[in-house]
Amino acid sequence: MVIIKVRFHGRGGQGVVTAADILAVAAFKEGYWTLSFPMFGAEKRGGPVVSYLKISEEKVYDRDEIHDPDYSVVLDPMLLGRDVVLGLKGWLIANHPSLEKAKERTGWRDTVAIDATKIALEILKRPITNTAMVGAFAGFTKIVKLNTLKETVYEWFEKKGEEVAKRNVEVVEKAYKEVEG
């Protein structure tokens, strides 16, 4: 049984858990079994937060935290460092304006960088980068289709109002395409 393991890094308050959860729902819609959960921490807002996502064709039994992710997704450029590539087996997907700088900070070759903060500020007017990074992950991995993701994101944010939902969909799409391109 193949399990795709994704680890998300960010800070309390940045929506790291939501990032994993949105992707979980999207992947579930595509027929996968998914399991996502936050790092089991006692951190307060601002402290580093991690969340996990496992995607598989079959039910996932293993509930351990992910120590050997296939992907590491980093929502906050300040967090780029050794920690986020610990045990990493595949790609680092980083929020950073510069691919080179990002690589430099982590020492990880297989890195994709996207300036998620910029996208977020542009469209959401707030530096909440989780949806952008979700889009980037999907665009890069193609594990979930853009449309499924858009639908998921829309539904997710609908309760906060149509406007918010639409903007987040826009963010996702933009990030998806930027990475894909």
CB-wise, 46 or 97, nearer to ligand SF4? 46
Q: How far is the CB of 47 from ligand SF4 (least distance, A)?
A: 10
3-state SS string for 55-69: EECCCCCCCCCCCCC
- At 164, list the tokens: 């918010």
Q: How far is the CB of 41 from ligand SF4 (least distance, A)?
A: 14
AA letter at 106: T
25 touching another protein, by CB under 8 A = yes
Q: Phi-psi category of 10—alpha, beta or left, where left has phi over 0 and alpha has psi -120 to 50?
A: beta
Is the CB of residue 53 less than 8 Å from the CB of residue 20? yes
- 127 is in the binding site of which of another protein, ligand SF4, none (Cβ under 5 to 8 A by kind)? another protein
105 touching another protein, by CB under 8 A = yes
Task: Report which residue's Cβ sits closest to ligand SF4.
Answer: 44
Residue located via tokens 């858009």: 150
Instruction: Using CB under 6 A, pick the residue from 2, 31, 42, 44 that binds ligand SF4.
Output: 44
In angstroms, rounded to a whole number, what is the distance separating the alpha carbons of residues 105 and 82?
8
> CA separation (Å) from 123 to 4, 33, 144?
30, 32, 23
Is the CB of residue 75 less than 8 Å from the CB of residue 85? no
# residues near another protein by CB under 8 A: 37
Q: How far is the CB of 132 from another protein (least distance, A)?
A: 16
Q: How far is the CB of 45 from ligand SF4 (least distance, A)?
A: 6
- The binding site for another protein (CB under 8 A) comprises 11-13, 20-21, 24-25, 28, 33-38, 40-47, 60-65, 67, 77-79, 96-97, 101, 105, 127
- The binding site for ligand SF4 (CB under 6 A) comprises 44-45
